[in-house]
Amino acid sequence: MLYDRGVDFEMGHAATELRHELRDLVKSHVPEDFLGAFTSDPADLEVAQGFCRLLAERGLLCMSWPEEFGGRGSSVWEQTVVREEMWAHHEPRGAQYMGVNWVGPTLMRHGTPAQQRTHLPPIARGEVIWCQGFSEPEAGSDLASLRTTATRDGDGWRISGQKIWTSYATMAQWCFLLARTTRGGKKQAGLTIFLVPMDDPAITVRPIGTMLGPHHLNEVFLDDLRVTEADVLGTVDDGWSIVADVLSFERLGIARYARCERLLQLAPDQLGERWAELPAELRGRWARMLTHCRRARLLAYRLVSLQSEGRVRPTDVAAYRIAVTKLDQDSAEVLMEIAAEAPEDGTELFRREVDDHWRYSQAATVSSGSIEMQRILLSRALLAAT
| Residue 9, pLDDT score | 60
8 A C-beta contact, residue 260 and residue 293? yes
Q: Pick from 157, 151, 153, 94: which is nearest to 127 by CA?
A: 94
pLDDT attached to residue 369: 65
Catalytic residues: 250
Q: What is the pTM of this model?
A: 0.88
Q: How distant is the alpha carbon of residue 137 from its chain centre?
A: 21
Counting Cα atoms < 13 Å in the Cβ hemisphere of 157 gives 24
Kindly tell me the number of DSSP H helices and DSSP E strands found in the chain.
12, 8
Residue ranges and CATH numbers for the domains of the chain are 13-94 (no CATH), 132-243 (2.40.110.10), 255-385 (1.20.140.10)
260-293 b/e (C-beta count within 10 Å ≥ 16 → b): bbbbbbbbbebbeeebeebeeeebebbeebbebb
pLDDT in the model for residue 332? 97
By the 8 A CB rule, do 69 and 120 touch? yes
Q: What is the pLDDT of residue 372?
A: 78
pLDDT at 228: 96
58 in helix, strand or coil?
A: coil
**Taking Cα atoms as reference points, which of 287, 318, 368 lies closest to residue 6?**
287
pLDDT by residue, tens only, the chain of 386 residues: 333 434 456 677 888 999 999 999 999 999 999 999 888 889 999 999 999 999 999 999 999 999 999 999 998 899 999 999 999 999 999 888 889 989 999 999 999 999 999 999 999 999 999 999 999 998 877 888 999 999 999 999 999 999 999 989 999 999 999 999 999 888 899 999 999 999 999 999 999 987 777 677 899 999 999 999 999 999 999 999 999 888 777 666 678 899 999 999 999 999 999 999 999 999 999 999 999 999 999 989 988 888 777 776 767 788 888 888 899 999 999 999 999 999 999 999 999 999 999 998 887 767 666 777 778 777 887 788 77
Separation between Cα atoms, residue 189 and residue 136, nearest integer Å: 17
DSSP state letter for 99? I
Closest CA to 130 of 93, 175, 90: 175
Residue 5 is predicted with a pLDDT of: 39
